[in-house]
């Protein structure tokens, strides 16, 4: 049995390969001692770790685990998933939207960190709580999908009011910028506020990603990360905004486990 673990700031992502079958699971990072106890019950397993809490997890388990740099592990995992889905990209940007967002350029077999932003799942949860008092991520995502961003976000078309716009009218001119215009005529529900949170995070992540794609002269942007789990609206915002700006978005099934799978693959390569 081989076990790859990406121990992140919010979630611990786990990939288990047993007799050629790959399965996935995740637990909150607050339950790291429970994960350690589970590993302790599997003393013969080959364990590979990555992520910010990898060294701490290593101190809790009996196995002498293989450790890899998170960026390298994530890149290797993405490559593995792309190959599995028969997607051939010579170069691309990948954005890992976890607690925050890290953005990288891939050219063949090499990856280079191109930047990042604090906008990500941590911002979604924190800002959602401040605006609505809701803490459960699944409730945040489901209610956001039912909200109306147009009440809250100022679009280019709102400014030009039917006149020809110099840029696409559906682009956001100012996130939350329509609130004062509508404060006397509309009620802003919790769903509307949550939809606006998804909008500002999704558009921030996308803007930085496509600027990186333009800088490195690639049209492909791969989006992964736990922030997309059950989050239809965030995925829609990112996909639509990427296409609107003339780039090609890709979402990988189980992409949030790229680090876990990648560190496992790097362990295998090191053993050869």
The pLDDT of residue 166 is 85
Please tell me the distance from the alpha carbon of residue 143 to that of residue 87, in angstroms, as a whole number: 33
The pLDDT of residue 137 is 95
Task: List per-residue pLDDT tens for the chain, 272 residues long.
Answer: 999 999 998 899 999 999 989 999 999 999 999 999 999 999 999 999 999 999 999 999 999 999 999 999 999 999 999 999 999 999 999 999 999 999 999 998 899 999 999 999 999 999 999 999 999 999 999 999 999 998 999 999 988 987 888 888 888 999 999 999 888 888 999 999 999 999 999 999 999 999 999 999 999 999 999 999 999 999 999 999 999 999 999 999 899 999 999 999 999 999 98
- On whether both 53 and 81 belong to a single domain, the answer is yes
Which member of 17, 31, 70, 150 is catalytic?
A: 70
User: For position 118, which CATH number holds?
Assistant: 3.30.420.40
- On whether both 119 and 210 belong to a single domain, the answer is yes
Give the chain's domain count.
2
Looking only at the bridges linking them, the beta strands covering 91-97 and 110-117 are: unpaired
The pLDDT of residue 34 is 97
Residue 12 lies in a domain: yes
DSSP 133: -
Please tell me the distance from the alpha carbon of residue 40 to that of residue 37, in angstroms, as a whole number: 5
The pLDDT of residue 268 is 97
- What residue has token string 């390298």? 72
Domain extent for 112: 101-147+189-251
List beta partners, residue 174.
Answer: 154
The pLDDT of residue 47 is 98
The pLDDT of residue 184 is 87
- On whether both 261 and 243 belong to a single domain, the answer is no
Residue 174 lies in a domain: no
Please tell me the distance from the alpha carbon of residue 272 to that of residue 74, in angstroms, as a whole number: 20
Of the chain, the end-to-end C-alpha distance in Å amounts to: 17
- On whether both 132 and 263 belong to a single domain, the answer is no
- What residue has token string 């989006």? 223
Tokens found for residue 25: 């699971």
Residue 223 lies in a domain: yes
- On whether both 37 and 78 belong to a single domain, the answer is yes
Residue 70 among the catalytic residues: yes
The pLDDT of residue 75 is 97
- On whether both 105 and 236 belong to a single domain, the answer is yes
Phi, then psi, of 142 in degrees rounded to 5:
-70, -40
The pLDDT of residue 128 is 98
- On whether both 115 and 77 belong to a single domain, the answer is no
Residue 126 lies in a domain: yes
Nearest to 241 by CA among 122, 180, 155: 155
- On whether both 52 and 133 belong to a single domain, the answer is no
- On whether both 11 and 127 belong to a single domain, the answer is no
Instruction: Give me the half-sphere count of Cα atoms (radius 13 Å) on the Cβ side of residue 145.
Output: 13
- On whether both 22 and 75 belong to a single domain, the answer is yes
Phi, then psi, of 101 in degrees rounded to 5:
-125, 130
- On whether both 143 and 207 belong to a single domain, the answer is yes
Please tell me the distance from the alpha carbon of residue 241 to that of residue 175, in angstroms, as a whole number: 14
Residue 155 lies in a domain: no
DSSP 165: P
The pLDDT of residue 79 is 96
Please tell me the distance from the alpha carbon of residue 73 to that of residue 268, in angstroms, as a whole number: 12
How far is CA 150 from each of CA 128, 183, 207, 236, 272, rounded to the nearest angstrom?
18, 13, 19, 15, 55
Please tell me the distance from the alpha carbon of residue 158 to that of residue 146, in angstroms, as a whole number: 22
Q: Give me the helices (H) in the chain, please.
A: 32-40, 54-58, 70-84, 121-132, 137-145, 156-160, 179-182, 190-215, 232-244, 258-271
Tally of helices (H runs) and strands (E runs) in the chain: 10, 12
């Amino acid at each position: 049995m081989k076990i790859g673990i990406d121990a992140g700031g919010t979630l611990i992502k786990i990939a288990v390969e047993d007799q050629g079958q790959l399965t996935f699971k995740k637990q909150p990072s607050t339950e790291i001692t429970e994960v350690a106890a589970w590993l302790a019950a599997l003393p013969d397993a080959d364990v590979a770790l990555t992520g910010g809490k990898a060294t701490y997890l290593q101190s809790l388990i009996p196995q002498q685990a293989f450790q890899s740099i998170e960026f390298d592990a994530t890149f290797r995992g993405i490559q593995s998933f792309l190959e599995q889905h028969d997607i051939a990209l010579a170069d691309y940007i990948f954005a890992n939207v976890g607690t925050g967002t890290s953005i990288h350029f891939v050219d063949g077999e090499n990856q280079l960190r191109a930047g990042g932003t604090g906008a990500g799942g941590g911002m979604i949860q924190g800002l959602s709580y401040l605006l609505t008092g809701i803490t459960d991520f699944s409730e945040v995502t489901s209610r956001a999908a039912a909200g109306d961003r147009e009440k809250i976000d100022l679009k280019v078309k709102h400014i030009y009011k039917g006149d020809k716009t110099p840029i696409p009218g559906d682009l956001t001119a100012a996130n939350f910028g329509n609130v004062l215009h509508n404060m006397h005529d509309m009620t802003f529900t919790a769903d509307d506020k949550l939809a606006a949170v998804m909008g500002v995070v999704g558009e921030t992540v996308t803007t930085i990603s496509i600027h990186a794609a333009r800088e490195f002269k690639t049209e492909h942007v791969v989006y992964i990360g736990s922030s997309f789990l059950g989050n239809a609206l965030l995925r829609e915002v990112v996909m639509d905004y990427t296409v609107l700006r003339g780039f090609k978005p890709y979402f990988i099934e189980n992409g949030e486990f790229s680090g876990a799978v990648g560190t496992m693959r790097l362990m295998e390569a090191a053993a050869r």
